[in-house]
A and B are shown apart, each in its own frame.
Chain A
Amino acid sequence: MALLEINNLSIAVASQGQLLPVVTDCSFSVAAHETLGVVGESGCGKSLTALAIMGLLEGSQVNITSGSIVFDGRDLLQLRPAQRRAIMGNQMAMVFQEPMTSLNPVYRIGEQITEVLQQHRKITHRESRQRALELLDLVKIPHPQDRIDSYPHQLSGGQRQRVMIAIAMACEPALLIADEPTTALDVTVQKEVLDLMLDLQTRTGTSIILISHDLGVIAETCDEVAVMYRGRIIEKATTASLFANMAHPYTRGLLASIPTIDTDNDWLQAIPGRVPGIDEKVNGCPFHPRCAHTETPCTQTAPRLIDTHPHHAVRCHFAGEI
C-alpha cells in the first residue's frame, strides 16, 4: 500500500460568493521511500495541492471540495484538527519556497528547531537542544555550536533553507513535501540543497513530494512524475517512461523551454500564451488555446486520462499520435 494516496481531490477558491475550481479531480500516490515530482507552471495548482495534503488550507479562502487524502491508512480529511496537528511537522513535514521569510525573524534558529521537537516528542530542553545541534550538523551548517543561537537574518538564503530542512526533518517524517525548495536560491546553492535532501532521504527513508517547474531537477531526483496544468494532472508516469515516451504537448513544451548550451538556438523556446486565470472558462481540453496540435475535438470535449504505456497516463485526445 502506498504511503500517501490522493483520490479525486478537488480544490476551489471562494471568491465573491462563488467557488472557482483551482484543482480538479486530482489522483496520485506516493510509495514509501519514493520521490514524486510534481511539475507545472505557476498557478497550475501544485502548491495548493501540497498545502491541502499538509493541512495548511484551514482558515483560508481555499477549500477542499471533494476527494480524499489517505496517509498511512487514514483519511486526513476525516480527522479532527488535533489529530491532524499531531501529524503535521511529525509524520509529515514541509519545506517552503521562500527561505528568506519562512523563519520567524525574532527567534533564534535553535529555538525554532526545538519548538517542533517539543511539540511532538516527550523530550527535555537539554535533549532537544542536543538534537537541534545534530540536525544542524546533518543539514551541513558549519559550526552548529555557534550557529544555533543565530537569528535568521544572520544566515544566508541557502543556510536558512537548510535550517528549514532541519525543522522539517526534526521528527523524521515519513513524508517530506518540498514546494520549490531551491527556486529562491542561487544556482550554485540549488544543487547543494537538492543533494542534501536526497542524501537525507537515503539515510532516513522518507518519501518526498518535490514540487518544481524545472523538469531538469525532476529528471535527476524523482521516481515518478505528475505534470499539472490548470489544476489537472495531464501526464503521469515513472520518470524513465516520461522522458522516453513523453506524450502531452504541454510536457514537451516544458522540456523544450529548458535552455541548452549544445544546440545553436538564438531564441529561448517557450510555450505560447499564458495559463488562463482561474475565473476564465476554457471549453474542451484546457490546454487547447496554447497547443500547436489543436483539432476540433480539443475545443469540444475535455480529454480523460488514458494509459498509453504501463505506468504512463496522458490526458490528451491524440496521446501517442502526435
Chain B
Amino acid sequence: MALAGSATAGGRRRARLRSTAMAIARFLVVVALTYLGLLAVTFFIGRVIPVDPVLAIVGDRAPSHVVERVREELGLNLPLYQQFVIYVGKALTGDFGISVLTSNPVMTDIRRVFPATLELATLGTLIGAFLGVPLGVLAAVRRGSFLDQVVRVIGLVGYSVPIFWLGLMALLVFYARLGWVEGPGRIDVVYEYTVTPVTGILLLDTAMQGEWEAFRNVFGHLILPASLLGYFSMAYISRMTRSFMLTELGQEYVVAARAKGLSERTIIWRHALRNALVPLVTVIALSYANLLEGSVLTETVFSWPGLGLYITDSLQNADMNAVLGGTIVVGSVFIGLNLLSDLLYRVLDPRTRAR
C-alpha cells in the first residue's frame, strides 16, 4: 500500500511536470503561429495594396530603367509566395530589411523610436493605474454618491473627447499660457547633445549621467503627454475597477467577513480588491499594451518621435519593411504582456497555481 501510495505521488508529480511542459509547448506553438499569422497578414496586405513600393524608394522622377533595376534588387519581380518565404527567412535571423524612409535597418530605427514610446506609455500607465484603481474602488464603495458621479463623468470625458484636441488644449494652457511645462518634443535643443543615448529612455539616460538639469527638462517635456495618456487610461481603469469591485462587494464572502466583524477598510482593500485585482491585471496590461503601440495622435500633437508615428509615417509612404517590423514589435508587446499577466495571475490567485 505504502509502495503504491508513493508511486502515485511520484506519478502525480510527473503528471504535473508533464502538464506544465505541455502548457509551455502549447504556449510556444501559439506564439509561433501568432507570429506567422502576423507576418503573413501584414506582408500580403502590404503587397496587395495598389501602391508601387519601388515608387517609395526611388521617387516619382526616377527614369524607368532605375525603377526596373530597383524592382529587381528588391526581388519584387519574384512570385509572391517566394517573396514571403525569403522575408520570413530573413525575419527569423532578426533582419527586417532597410527602411526606405530613414535608410537605416528597421531594427535600428525601432530601437530608437520604441524607447520614446515606452517612456511615455510606462509613465502614462503608472499615472492611470495609481489614480484609476483607488478612484474606481471609492466609486464602487460609495455607489451613487457625488464621488461616484465625478468618476463616471471623468470616465465619460476620457472616452469621448478626442485626444488630439485635449492635447492641443493642454499645450495651450500649461505650456503657452502658464509656462508650467515644456513644449512639444522630448528635450530642449540646448540639451539635445549633452546626453549620450544609452537606453534611449531619456529619464534614465540623464539620471545615469548625472545631467540633472537635462533630467528636469526631459521630465518637463514628458509630464504633459504622459498625464494626458494617463488620464485616458485612468478613465478606463477606474471604470473597470468600479464594476469589478461592485461584483466582489456583492459576494457572500464579503457578507461573511462583515459578520465576522472585520473593519470595512480591511474588507474593501484586503479582501474585495485582492479578488478584483485578478481581472484588473488584464485590464491594466491591455491598456499598457495599447499605449505601447504608440498613440499616433498624441505623438503627432507633441512631436514625439515614437513608434506610433513611425509606423504611420511608414504606412503613408508605403515603406513596407518598416511597417512589418513595427507590427512585429507591437505583436511581441501584446504577447509579452499577455504572458506577464498570466504569470501575475498565478501570483495573485493561488487556485491557478494548484492547477
Q: Do A and B bind each other?
A: no
Give me the interface of A with B, judged by CB distance under 8 Å. none
Give me the interface of B with A, judged by CB distance under 8 Å. none
